[in-house]
Amino acid sequence: MHLLDRSSLVRSTLAVVAAGTLVLGLAACSSTSDSESNNTAPTHPVNATEPAEESTEEPLATIPALTGGVDTQVAVDASFVDALGTLGLTPGVVGDATFTDGTFSFPITGGNVTYYDPEGDVRPYVQGNIDHDDSGLSLTAADGTVVELSDFRIDPGESKLYGTVTANGTIAAQDAYLFTLWGGTLEPLKTEGTNAVLEGTTVHVSPDAAALLNTTFDTDAVQDQMLVGVAKITVATQ
């Protein structure tokens, strides 16, 4: 049996904690309007007459490269499926994404995360990106119009998901704000071997994506903050 020495155990534990904050930070953003106590930047500086001093606070945990995978899954809500049917849109997958039993899966291809003390001065206290290159989802209309949303990037500090938008093979927008992430229903962090698993964050259509889809498909039925589904993020910590 392989035993971890104390330093390895500490590093592994911190890695799991850091991975957990990828979504725990999202929960903090959505569960309170007091920006001073959550993961968002304060609305007003404490002292607007003096420039803010650069923080020397050290992070509690860091994962410098999310090169081990594994994926972000979204279990599609029935209301979103019904909405697509009403619009005559058929969902599909792009690149390395999969869609099985009502769940999209997008492989994690890279990124990083740094976690600071929530009680400290650094905001946002969860910083970094989770990259999902070369995968995405598509929406196809009855007239043959195809919109692809791909190359997703989750920003845990903003509780937002960005990506590339392609319409009929032509890039319409890059690093566009596509989905809002809400953590009010987030379940406690779980571990599966050396993976950190967080489930329960809900995914909603952003105002930017709603406007773009309505324009592309000539409709007004795509609503801002329409529920897409529930996310499950599995991150390899080693």
- Cis peptide upstream of residue 94 (ω within 30 degrees of 0): no
> What pLDDT score does 65 carry?
86
> What pLDDT score does 68 carry?
81
> What pLDDT score does 26 carry?
43
> What pLDDT score does 17 carry?
52
Neighbours of 69 (CB within 10 A): 13
Residue type at position 162:
Y
Neighbours of 67 (CB within 10 A): 12
Residues 165, 103, 184, CA angle at the centre, nearest 5°? Answer: 85
Q: In this structure, what DSSP letter does residue 19 have?
A: H
> What pLDDT score does 127 carry?
87
Distance of CA 70 to the CA centre of its chain: 14
Distance of CA 168 to the CA centre of its chain: 26
**Where would I find the beta strands (DSSP E) of 55-125?**
61-63, 70-76, 90-95, 98-100, 103-107, 110-115
**Which value, in Å, is the radius of gyration of the alpha carbons in the chain?**
19
> What pLDDT score does 7 carry?
43
Query: Residues 41-59, buried b or exposed e (16+ Cβ, 10 A)?
Result: eeeeeeeeeeeeeeeeeeb
Residues 24, 164, 159, CA angle at the centre, nearest 5°? Answer: 15
> What pLDDT score does 185 carry?
83
Residue type at position 14:
L
Structure tokens at 174: 């890059």
* Cα–Cα distance measured from residue 231 to residue 37, given in angstroms and rounded to the nearest whole number: 24
Q: Are 92 and 137 in contact (CB under 8 A)?
A: yes
* Cα–Cα distance measured from residue 127 to residue 116, given in angstroms and rounded to the nearest whole number: 8
Please, what are the averages of pLDDT over each run of 10 residues along the chain (238 residues)? Answer: 41 50 46 37 33 70 84 95 92 97 96 86 87 97 95 92 96 96 84 86 95 92 94 85
